[in-house]
Structure 1
Amino acid sequence: MQALLVLLLPLGSAALIALFLRRQGTLASIISTAACAGLAAIALKLVFSNERFVASANWLEIGSLTISLGIKFDDLSALMLAIVAIVGLCVHVFSLGYMHEDGAKARYFGGLSIFMFSMLGIVFADNLFMMFIFWELVGFSSYLLINHFCDKQSAADASKKAFIANRVGDFGFILGIVWCYYAFGTVNIGELSVLAEAKFKAGEFIVAGIPLLLFCGAVGKSAQLPLHVWLPDAMEGPTPVSALIHAATMVAAGIFMLCRLEPLFAAAPAALNVVMWIGVITAVYAALCAITQSDIKKVLAYSTLSQLGYMVAAFGLGRLSETQTHEGQTNTFLLSAGAGIAMFHLMTHAFFKALMFLGSGSVIHGCHHEQNIFKMGGLSSRMKFTFVTFTLGVLAIIGFPMLSGFFSKDAILLLAFEKNFVVFGLLAFTAVLTSFYMVRMWKLVFLGKPRSDEADHAHEGGLTMTLPLLVLAILAVVGGYSFILDNGVFSNVFNDVPDGHNHHHAHNVVFATSIGVMLLGSLSAYFFYKPQPVDSLAMKSPGLFNGLSLLKSFPDDLYNYYVAKIQQRFALFVNFLEQIFVAGLLVRGLAGIVGLFGMGARALHVGSLHAYVYWFLLGTVLVWGFASGLFL
């Protein structure tokens, strides 16, 4: 009942706002925030109650196919529920201040509520068909929120781009679901886990095409190459939307789905290998792109892409040891090392990246909606609270010791060190780039002197904008400590996460590497970049700067070329065939034949009784011939 209430509260809020409060923005914001606070309270009570259950009811039956709607609440769902609830509430509260003067505030908060409902549906789904339904609802609600400033052409284009890119991935996802049902006779997640685990233990493999098609959905939602192009453009939406959708929840849905279906991937090693390399390439590529960005939200967007690549790579690295099921609990699964670490980094990343996105929103709001980091500077003295909390987020993501990002990044590097040394090297290089571009952004925004009137007159936001920063800053600090792993609440998720106690030599090497890459990247950025209104890299090394800029724009240019030169011409060719064969031969041709018969029949109506008598006699002879068998 509590899980159902958590799911229905945001739906009720969205329905109430859409039906009755479209012109009452303040009341709509209060109702939406209150609903989110209620669901967060119930969700956290449910998470820490250690109550785990599975319940479902049939919704639709078509022959042998039965589609059910149910709730699967295990440790994995509990962890994701806690993340969505906490970050969602912080974003709602922050939005009260950030969107205070927005004329379409009711539509905005209604969109937040329907998004929360859709995301919670994915968290609770006990089968792939139900997950896909809410998967599409998440895409719809994110389209609405990205396009909130619908009078801006760039926002409209960004929302359409996000919608189309996600539909490409979702097409592969639905094909994978259908193939999964054909191969296993079920799409129930618990049953699939048991069947796939049995094959894994028996040394058998499933067809790699099934998990790879399912992975297409994660490629779209979690913005992995080559469907990553929508995420940077999605920064056209309001900044709190970026924190909710593009840092902690929607983009994390793909990682959650992978971990939910981990037994299927474990039974297809070739698929895991593909997943790993896509994650690694995305991590390196996005980190390189982030170096040249001047928009504070675009830097965080490419950082999100890179960190999602980290999670996907960790998942693809797979298992350290054979996973066991709990005795008597066939629907409860212990995640492998790779999946557990991916969820661990998802959790820590959700806190510190949501903190930085909301912190960037505070900066943008304080600087009168200026987003160019080269027009900021000196904000450490003008926005002291934002400076302190944002700095904690930066330290967390670069892996500063004892902060949350250090623990999760260290776990990923340790797993990579033991499983694939090439991947370890590439991820360590990505960590250097992460430290470099994050310290670059931090220094240009907060240190030095103001480089514009907007920065010179920057001011701190109110309580609704500072309180969420405080909550997320605390979680960014403590989110990685061992008590979170050892308190038994999420033990099935983190059971195989390496903690270093049994990997002394490897852990020492990884620890030294983590500290080394953090210092190398951060100190390089600190001493290389000077607070000035132009990019130091563009001045000192224009060739490298232009190359990195080209790297960022190349996928978009490639897609634009494909659409203009291939897809559009194919569409024109198909249109030509439609005009000739369908509209021409079939429609107009058949219409012409029918018209000729009509003209002939009309010619028989001459108005003469004698002619009609002859036709009557001819008809009688024909009927007699058929009746007597003369024409057979």
Structure 2
Amino acid sequence: SVFMFSMLGIVLADNLVMIFIFWELVGFSSYVLINHYFDKPSAVAASKKAFIVNRVGDFGFLLGIIFVYWQFGTFNLVELQEAAGHHAELVKTSMGLLLFCGVLGKSAQMPLHVWLPDAMEGPTPISALIHAATMVAAGIYFTARVYFLMSPEALNVVMWVGTITAVFAAIVAFGQKDIKKVLAFSTLSQLGYMVAALGLGGLVQMEGHGGHGGLAIGAAVAMYHLTTHAFFKALLFLDSGSVINACHHEQDIYKMGGLSGRMPITFATFGIGVLAIGGFPFLSGFLSKDTILHLAHEGNTIVYILLLGTAALTGLYMGRVFVVTFFGKARSDHAAHAKESGLAIVLPLVILAILSVIGGYTWFLEGSFASVLNSIPHAADSGFKILMLITGTLFSVGGIVIAWLVWNPNKEADTLEVAVPVLFKALAARLYIDAAYDWYVDKVQDRVALILGFLDQLFISGLMVRGSAGVVALLGIISRSLHVGT
């Protein structure tokens, strides 16, 4: 309830201070829920990591809010929008990037992405609700709210951060055996798509709407993908929870296998989720991802190629999870005796599967995005639509087929791990970025803290506190010796 209250507060707040307060409450909720299994050391460590990493981003966020007030004298978003056009681009760039620091933490964008995979230590329904569909998307929503404070230069940075995160997460997903960790990196990648869309909106002009319309379109496209992503990613996480529950809390996909016949509803709904995230034509993921690729095609060729390649990788790593988990022989006793989950679990799966199919159509969304999406350059280009249909089919279905051929479901070990163990080890270690942070904290930050602690004891506690007390005491002794007592 605290989390829902906080999320609604972020959505309804009309000024930056209230948004920040609810923003922190959401972060606190995440910290507590990751630490749900408080007797599990890995869960405790993950909750601390999430809390600290988000505080790093929120420090920049708070500086941005202070900077905004210093420049405009108000926190109100309506008043800020009216005054935003009267300031220099350098000022807008600075405040935009400072505010975006909060998004780096909350929406787990590089280099503050490291907390989200570890957040999978929390209960799976929490992963589905908070760390896939809602809280991590708060940064996308916030950026859309303050889009008018973003200069073209700031949006260019936003675009590249999102693109790099999308590509990085898609690559690292191939080195994960934990089913929830794979979905966590897929969430990182899809959030990268949304952030890239926000940045690309600054490069693309809506026909007949001028520069301000060009900015609005990035926010609309990002929110569109945010909406559809909530459906199929929540579905995939709850499907994984169904599988984990049936396999007695086993999360290693190479200790599963053969579940398609034992868990038919979970198998079918997971398949729909895989097709949706892979961009299979006419499913929700295809419709929203298509709009982002339209923006990239129009705005930046390199980003377009990278995001298109990421779409191909998405179909492949999700195909790997699907094939290894549900096909072949059972690779453990728990998988061999798994049974379909009860109605309380499978009913939400069916509902989310339906939403993953129809959730991207503007008639279902009551036209919320229709007017903006129809104005995307080349949106009506039949040649481009055919290209997207072909690539969507190849990436989604082809990903499953290639995954079947490469990651044979009857094998006991991962094909990549056997073929290129050094590469697989690097991917499993998340390209050693987490290790680099650990080294920095252990070898650099701790030593800096020791030096600062020594200087604090010497100058602050020593000279200023104890020194001033000693001087006063000495003066007291001197003055006492001069007093004759009469």
If the TM-score is normalised by the length of the shorter chain, which range does it land in?
A: over 0.9
1:454 is aligned, of 302, 321, 334, to 334
The correspondence for 1:276, drawn from 138, 142, 159, is 159
2:429 matches 1:544:
no
Question: For the residues of structure 2 that align with 1:351 and 1:207, how far apart are their CA atoms?
Answer: 34
Match of 2:143 in 1: 258
- Give 1:422's match in structure 2, choosing from 302, 307, 324: 302
Q: Mark the CA change 1:582 to 1:356 in structure 2 (over 3 Å): closer, same or farther.
A: same
CA-to-aligned-CA distance 1:474-530 (integer Å, 9 cap, x gap): 100101124235x344557656456832x3343333443333433543322121111
* 1:323 to partner: Cα distance: 8.4
Provide the C-alpha distance between the structure 1 equivalents of 2:191 and 2:92, rounded to a whole number of angstroms: 26
Kept in 2, the 8 Å contact 1:335–1:495? The answer is no
Equivalent of 1:157, from 23, 45, 66?
45
Residue equivalent to 1:441:
321
Measured in 1, the distance between the counterparts of 2:172 and 2:295 equals: 26
Q: Which moved more, 1:383-392 or 1:203-212?
A: 203-212
Verify the 8 A CA contact 1:337 1:498 in the aligned structure 2.
no
Alpha-carbon offset, residue 457 of structure 1: 1.5
Counterparts of 1:299 and 1:120 in 2: how far apart (Å)?
Answer: 29
Displacement of 1:408 in angstroms is 0.8
User: After superposition, where does 1:149-548 map in structure 2 within 5 Å?
Assistant: 149-196=37-84, 198=85, 207-265=92-150, 268-318=151-201, 319-321=204-206, 336-484=216-364, 487-489=366-368, 494=373, 496-497=375-376, 500-501=379-380, 503-531=381-409, 532-548=411-427
CA distance in 1, matches of 2:375, 2:91: 23
Among 438, 443, 449, the residue aligned to 1:565: 443
Contact 1:147–1:159 (Cα < 8 Å) also in 2: yes
Q: Distance in 1 between matches of 2:251 and 2:378?
A: 40
Q: Deviations over 1:303-361 (max 9, x none)?
A: 00000001111111014227869xxxxxxx99722211111111111000000001111
Change (3 A) 1:612 1:188: closer
8 Å CA contact 1:225, 1:282 repeated in 2:
yes
Match of 2:21 among 133, 136, 145: 133
Matching residue's letter, 2:72? F
- Paired with 2:378 and 2:347, the residues of 1 have a C-alpha distance of 33
- d(CA) in 2 for partners of 1:349, 1:412: 13
TM-score scaled to structure 2, two decimals? 0.94
Residues 73-84 of structure 1: pairs in structure 2 closer than 5 A: none
Alignment deviations for residues 521-544 of structure 1 (CA, whole Å, 9 cap, x no partner): 332212111123311111123243
The code of the aligned residue for 2:159 comes to M
CA distance in 2, matches of 1:468, 1:335: 36
> Do structure 1's residue 594 and structure 2's residue 447 form an aligned pair?
no
Q: How far apart, CA to CA, are the structure 1 residues paired with 2:403 and 2:318?
A: 8
C-alpha contact 2:114 2:434 (8 A) present in aligned 1: yes
State how 1:578-593 maps to structure 2 within 5 Å: 578-593=456-471
The structural deviation recorded for 1:258 is 0.8
Compute the displacement of 1:565 (Å): 1.9
Equivalent residue pairs, number: 482
Deviations 1:242-278 (A, max 9, x none): 001111101000000111112222xx11111100000
* Residues 219 and 315 of structure 1: CA distance in aligned 2, closer, same or farther (over 3 Å): same
State the superposition RMSD in angstroms: 2.3
Shift of the 508–242 alpha-carbon distance from structure 1 to 2, 3 Å rule, reads same
Q: After the TM superposition, which segments of 4 or more aligned residues of structure 1 sit over 6 Å from their partners?
A: none
Contact kept? 2:257, 2:326, Cα under 8 Å:
yes
Query: Using the alignment, how far apart are the partners of 2:454 and 2:253 within structure 1?
Result: 50
- What residue ranges of structure 1 are gaps of 5+ in the alignment? 1-112, 326-332, 606-610, 614-632
Structure 1: distance between partners of 2:462 and 2:426: 51
| Structure 1 pair 544–586 and aligned structure 2 pair: CA distance change class (3 A) | closer
Specify the code of the residue in structure 2 equivalent to 1:257. F
Shift of residue 206, structure 1, vs aligned partner: 5.0
Q: 1:488 to 1:432 in 2, by over 3 A?
A: closer
- Tell me which structure has the larger Cα radius of gyration: 1
Deviation at 1:191, TM superposition (A): 2.3
Say whether the 8 Å CA contact 1:255–1:342 is kept in structure 2: yes
Give, in whole Å, the separation in 2 of the partners of 1:590 and 1:339. Answer: 58
Q: Name structure 2 gaps, 5 residues minimum.
A: none
Kept in 2: contact 1:146–1:238 (CA 8 A)? yes
Go from structure 1 to structure 2 and tell me whether the alpha carbon gap of 1:493 and 1:461 turns closer, same or farther (over 3 Å shift): farther
Q: How much does 1:578 deviate?
A: 1.3
Report sequence identity in percent: 58
- Any conservation in 2 of the 1:429–1:517 contact (CA below 8 Å)? no
1:597 is displaced (CA, Å) by 3.0
AA in 1 matched with 2:465: V
In structure 1, distance between residues paired with 2:6 and 2:447: 37
Quick one: distance in 2 between partners of 1:151 and 1:214? 36
Quick one: distance in 2 between partners of 1:123 and 1:451? 46
Q: Match of 1:243, as an amino acid?
A: A
Instruction: Determine helix, strand or coil for the equivalent of 2:36.
Output: coil
Structure 1 CA distance for aligned equivalents of residues 68 and 364 of structure 2: 35
Give TM-score, length-normalised by structure 1.
0.73
Give the residue type in structure 1 aligned to 2:412. P
